[in-house]
Structure 1
Amino acid sequence: MSSIHKIDLFDFRLENAAVKRWIPLYYQYFGQPVGTAPVVLVNHALTGNSQVTGENGWWKSLIGSGAVIDTDYYTVIAFNIPGNGYDGNPDNLILNYTDFTTKDIAAIFWEGLESLGIQKLFAVIGGSLGGGIAWEMAFLKPLQIENLIPIATDWKATDWLIANVLVQDKILNNSENPIHDARLHAMLLYRTPLSLNKKFNREQNDPNKEYKVEGWLLHHGEKLKNRFQLASYKLMNHLLKTIGEASHCGSFLQFGKETTAHIHLVAVDSDYFFTVDQNRETYEILKRVHTNVYYHEIQSIHGHDAFLIEFEQLNTLLQKIFITAKQKIQ
């Protein structure tokens, strides 16, 4: 496992004009030393962290020695969203979570990269919330990312997403068992009726006659409750609704005209969270003004979580981007 490192950021001004005197930014890096190879930034999703590869890596099927994002050829960096609790220090949790936006997190990540001497990225990739932050990073510096790869996300939060964030926030602030109960609701957004029906087929667990789908949901609630902090969940959930909050269609089109990035949109055909029609619309808008934009679609019954399940399809989609660059290095 790569060690967790820390960058101290001082006097950071948020979008709402509040100034944070100190923000600790924790990160891990994998593969080649910084400054010796192309840099791939991996942004984690709502309950994720910087452990993207290795034995417990949540994207180890994509990242590692000999993998499609090959740590023998790339420097892979993953920041922890400040306040996600992965450093284990309760003093670093963020209680005033509504102060922060995804644009703030994107600016924090750029400051972290610059403190490491990194001005340009070969790629920034992330799923869900991590992909939303990738969009925000591109909006801030449209000339400094070679490959933008947002997966199971979009450049803006929709009304549907904002509505579900509100429901999650109400559960988190009013339930007697907040993380557990919020997770039960969230899992139904991350999966699909077809996925659950095929997995459980109305079967029950003996002897208590509990339906297997109920046991599965309760298990996920307990699992997250035991490893995640309430303040962290409130912050990450809130950040989802702020994706693209500072942008509008006109500014998005202007970004498309200005950016030099190759933009690879990766949607999931059954995604209930960031719907496929929104991704297709984004592609249609961008291709009017930007030459190097590509649309990819994962076929899956599993919904939003397919970006954490359908590794074979993701590997196939990403090979052309990363293996071509690796061949140039060789």
Structure 2
Amino acid sequence: MKLENIPNPINIQNFTTENGAVYPSLPLSFTIAGLPLHTAPVVLVNHALTGNAEVTGENGWWNDLIGPDKTIDTTIYTVVAFNVPGNGTDSFIIENYQDFTTRDIARIFIKGLELLKTEQVHTIIGGSVGGGIAWEMLALQPNITQNLIPIATDWKSTDWMIANCYLQEQILNNSSRPIEDARIHAMLCYRSPESFKEKFQRTINTNLSIFNIESWLAHHGEKLQKRYQLASYKLMNQLLKTIDITRNTADFETLLSGTTAAIHIIGINSDLFFTAKENRETYQELKKIKDNVYYSEIDSVHGHDAFLIEYKQLDHLLADIFKAETIKR
């Protein structure tokens, strides 16, 4: 579709990060699917660590949920997705990854919506670090969305999360095979012991004379190395570590008491990364100050990655939120 002469990527000019780094120009590339912009409710989808703005279509990473007649129905909604600048999808790379925090990306996405002449959206939805960016956007602009749907994430990085990101950073900076080795470690956080037991049952890869779990981990490391850039991995890991809507601002309740948005938190019972317990605590805190806050949980052995695996459950949990717009129309 023609975007009223809006270029892709958008240029974010004279951007100063929280840490004081100045970027004269930051390219913000994006995709738009569904109905033309400004003709329908907008759903903003924030991608996860190794994801991108291609959320639907043949190679869309969430095309089980987004598309014609699907839960996020592209015959009803306009679906916008931004690439995190430096995520490696386009030619732009950020070498000084420590210049940025999750809040900086939230500020960039808000600016992107402004330049698309979209002041408020129907829904901001994201999983993992994409959900963390969503939380930061709401804290910065309480009226930016009618619905916030953070999935397998939270409004802050816990000590456990920071510790894992620190280890990732050490691997990325010091390993002779940084992407492969970091990915192997990350897969232990993205899945669960029960998931591995169900999938592998201590079986042996007879061709390689190693355990199948070992060959599977090596495969994931090699696969990511072929399609991902080291600078992008460092940046996205930095964002995962720096989620915190309260850093240098106000407390959690003060920040979110000013929003009328409905907040639909979706946790995963086996998530080792953003634990269900933390999500339930966030829900209980929000219930003290808001009525329109909801918590639901994906039941899965597959850990953090369940939001990318358990499509039927996620589809069911999201259906009620998006069905209301269908009924209105």
The two structures have a TM-score, normalised by structure 1, of 0.96
Rate the CA distance shift 1:207–1:14 in 2: closer, same or farther, 3 A. closer
CA contact (8 A) 2:53 2:83 kept: yes
1:1-330 alignment to 2 at 5 Å? Answer: 5-87=8-90, 89=91, 92-244=92-244, 246-247=246-247, 251-329=251-329
Deviation at 1:144, TM superposition (A): 1.9
Runs of 4+ in 1 over 6 A off after TM superposition: 1-4
Is the 8 Å Cα contact of residues 2 and 30 (structure 1) preserved in structure 2?
no
- What is the CA distance between 1:249 and its match in structure 2? 10
CA contact (8 A) 2:156 2:243 kept: yes
For 1:130 and 1:166, how far apart are their aligned partners in 2? 19
**8 A Cα contact 1:155 1:244, kept in partner:** yes
Following superposition, the deviation at residue 68 of structure 1 comes to: 0.2
Task: Name the count of aligned residue pairs.
Answer: 326
The whole-number CA distance in structure 2 between the counterparts of 1:2 and 1:304 is 37
Task: Give me the whole-angstrom Cα distance separating, in 2, the residues matched to 1:227 and 1:235.
Answer: 16
- Partners of 1:161 and 1:2 in 2: CA distance: 41
2: CA distance between counterparts of 1:257 and 1:210?
54
Q: Is the contact between residue 190 and residue 272 of structure 1 (CA under 8 Å) also seen in structure 2?
A: yes
Looking at structure 1, the residues matched to 271 and 219 of structure 2 have their Cα atoms a distance apart, in angstroms, of 23
Counterpart secondary structure, 2:29: strand
CA contact (8 A) 2:135 2:245 kept: no
Change (3 A) 1:151 1:2: farther
Verify the 8 A CA contact 1:2 1:29 in the aligned structure 2: no
Which amino acid in structure 2 is aligned with residue 14 of structure 1?
A: T
CA distance in structure 2 between the aligned counterparts of 1:18 and 1:171, rounded to whole angstroms: 25
Change (3 A) 1:306 1:147: same
| Contact 2:125 2:150 (C-alpha < 8 Å) held by counterparts | yes
Q: Percent identity?
A: 56
Which stretch has the larger CA shift, 242-251 or 62-71? 242-251
The answer on whether the counterparts of 2:139 and 2:245 sit within 8 Å (CA) in structure 1 is no
Q: Which segment is superposed worse, 231-240 or 1-10?
A: 1-10
Aligned AA (1:129) = V
Contact 1:196 1:213 in 2 (8 A): yes
Secondary structure at 1:258 match in 2: coil
In structure 1, C-alpha distance between the alignment counterparts of 2:108 and 2:55, rounded to whole Å: 19
Alpha-carbon shift at residue 208 of structure 1 (Å): 3.0
2-structure distance, mates of 1:264, 1:249? 23
TM-score of the two chains, using structure 2 as the length reference? 0.96
Which runs of 5 or more residues in structure 2 are unaligned? none
